[in-house]
């Protein structure tokens, strides 16, 4: 979803994050300026990562220092940025941004902050200043990329300050550094769900009481998107399929069921919603995002790349103008939008036409309908906000970073037959799998899947405090 995304541990555990985080625009006080003075240098530094990027002739990004090196997943990293002011940026509202991610925009972290702990915002910068800005981020423990890429720049509203020279990408971001990451142990196994073929489509009423749903395995409880720890109100899901539809059922505990958004493609993730993202061809780029709110309202969008939307294909389109042909039904066990009583929960039932998983990609390589043994990449989330409490994000395969669009953390949807079984591999493949097991080598064949596997990542066992993850 947009930068759809909700709380980043290094920025805020409570507020939604967007492409660049809104920062405090208050004018610095006399005390702020006095405290910031030690970070306004008179001599240009020699940073470990020199950049010297020219931003519209107004500001030069000199470079970045990083401690420690190499960075280590699960531990704090101190970033020290150096900005040289040639001329104060024209107009009000300019802010710095800092984005951290792996190659190909994987595991994105929005680390925006006001410079010098908020004591010396861009609006106070003067010609000749060399501003030293120090802040700390934490690289997620599940980080799998060999490098951490840091991007910076200046932004105001929908505008980013143009970059005249220096390493940068097509999105107006200066590449501050590509930092090595210390190798860690093998990553946690990818979450997998075995979806049964149904011979009788469930009745779409939102109640999930059909025999097919009763027999389908559960995903087990969704967990905190940042830590993998249990969350306050349980959410589980089930998935079925036939030759025409993918059926998804969400079961949500909820003592305060509500939704104020009534227009299709409203920002449902800002209130309460269930969500599924589907990368059917597993290419790690194109995917669809579908949401349903407790009032039955729907959000749907196609993304040609991570966090890019259909209007990037055709500029005449408005964002989120692609419409799925899904049918979504909701049942509330309680009273919708009566905020002072005690509800029990709500269930949602989605019938997604298989063709919809292609979105707007006419050249998609996904095979439709799938066959038993085929695998798609998916993730599922639930947004919950009881009255008087902060919003909570829960996920099936927790991204462990502040971004629901962490495609490398999507789990696997494995298609099974009506008995919940997978086809037996051909004898040559079976022999290869056995040989790989005996030799201790990895096999490319799918690992066995336990229907209804309820295993929670190790982080959940630590009982860490809950908090939502960056959604948009």
Q: Which two tokens stand for residue 249?
A: 């059922």
pTM, full prediction: 0.60
* 210 within 8 A of 383, measured Cβ to Cβ: no
Please work out, in degrees rounded to the nearest 5, the angle formed at the alpha carbon of residue 243 by the alpha carbons of 238 and 244: 80
pLDDT at 441 (0 to 100): 46
| DSSP character at residue 408 | G
Using 70 as the pLDDT threshold, list the residues of the chain that sit under it: 1-26, 184-188, 426-472
Strands 192-197 and 235-241: parallel
Domains and CATH numbers, the chain: 5-180 (2.70.50), 192-423+449-471 (2.60.40.1190)
Q: Give CA–CA dist 116/133, Å, rounded.
A: 5
* 95 within 8 A of 118, measured Cβ to Cβ: no
pLDDT at 106 (0 to 100): 80
- Class of residue 38 by CB neighbours under 10 A (exposed 0-12, middle 13-18, buried 19+): exposed
| DSSP character at residue 402 | S
pLDDT at 8 (0 to 100): 37
Q: Give CA–CA dist 160/125, Å, rounded.
A: 17
- pLDDT digit string (tens) for 281-312? 999 999 999 999 999 999 999 999 988 899 98
Q: Which two tokens stand for residue 35?
A: 């405290």
Q: Give CA–CA dist 92/114, Å, rounded.
A: 14
Residues in a beta bridge with 392: 384
C-alpha closest to that of 58 among 161, 133, 176: 161
- The number of beta carbons lying within 10 Å of the beta carbon of residue 465 is 9
* 125 within 8 A of 41, measured Cβ to Cβ: no
């Amino acid at each position: 979803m947009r930068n759809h995304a909700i709380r980043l541990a290094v920025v805020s555990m409570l507020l939604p994050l967007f492409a660049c985080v809104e920062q405090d625009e208050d004018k610095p006080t006399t005390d702020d300026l006095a405290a910031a003075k030690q970070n306004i240098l008179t001599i240009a530094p020699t940073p470990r990562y020199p950049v010297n990027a020219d931003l519209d002739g107004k500001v030069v990004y000199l470079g970045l220092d990083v401690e420690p090196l190499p960075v280590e997943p699960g531990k704090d990293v101190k970033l020290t940025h150096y900005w040289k002011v040639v001329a104060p940026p024209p107009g009000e509202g300019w802010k710095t941004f800092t984005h951290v991610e792996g190659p190909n925009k994987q595991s994105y972290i929005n680390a925006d902050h006001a410079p010098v702990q908020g004591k010396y915002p861009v609006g106070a910068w003067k010609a000749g200043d060399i501003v030293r800005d120090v802040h700390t981020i934490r690289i997620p423990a599940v980080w799998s990329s060999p490098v951490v890429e840091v991007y910076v720049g200046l932004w105001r509203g929908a505008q980013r300050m143009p970059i005249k020279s220096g390493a940068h990408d097509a999105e107006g971001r200066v590449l501050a550094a590509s930092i090595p990451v210390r190798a860690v142990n093998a990553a946690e196994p990818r979450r997998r769900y075995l979806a049964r073929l149904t011979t009788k489509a469930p009745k779409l009423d939102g109640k999930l009481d059909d025999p097919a749903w009763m027999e389908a395995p559960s995903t087990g409880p969704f967990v905190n998107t940042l830590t993998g720890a249990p969350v306050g109100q349980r959410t589980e899901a089930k998935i079925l399929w036939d030759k025409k539809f993918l059926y998804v059922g969400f079961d949500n505990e909820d003592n305060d069921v509500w939704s104020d958004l009534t227009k299709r493609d409203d920002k449902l993730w800002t209130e309460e919603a269930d969500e599924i993202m589907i990368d059917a061809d597993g290419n790690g780029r194109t995917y669809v995002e579908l949401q349903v709110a407790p009032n039955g309202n729907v959000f749907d969008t196609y993304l040609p790349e991570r966090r890019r939307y259909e209007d990037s294909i055709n500029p005449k389109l408005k964002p989120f103008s692609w419409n799925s042909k899904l049918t979504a039904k909701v049942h509330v066990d309680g009273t919708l939008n009566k905020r002072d009583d005690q509800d029990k929960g709500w269930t949602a039932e989605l019938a997604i036409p298989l063709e919809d998983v292609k979105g707007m990609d006419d050249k998609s390589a996904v095979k439709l309908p799938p066959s038993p043994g085929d695998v798609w990449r998916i993730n599922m989330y639930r947004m919950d906000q009881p009255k008087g409490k902060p919003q909570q994000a829960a996920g099936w395969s927790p991204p462990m970073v502040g971004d629901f669009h962490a495609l490398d953390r999507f789990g696997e949807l494995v298609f099974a037959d009506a008995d919940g079984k997978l086809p037996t591999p051909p004898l040559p493949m079976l022999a290869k799998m056995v040989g790989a097991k005996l030799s201790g080598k990895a096999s490319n064949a799918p690992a066995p899947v336990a229907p209804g596997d309820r295993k929670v990542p190790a982080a959940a066992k630590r009982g860490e405090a809950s908090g939502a993850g960056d959604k948009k």
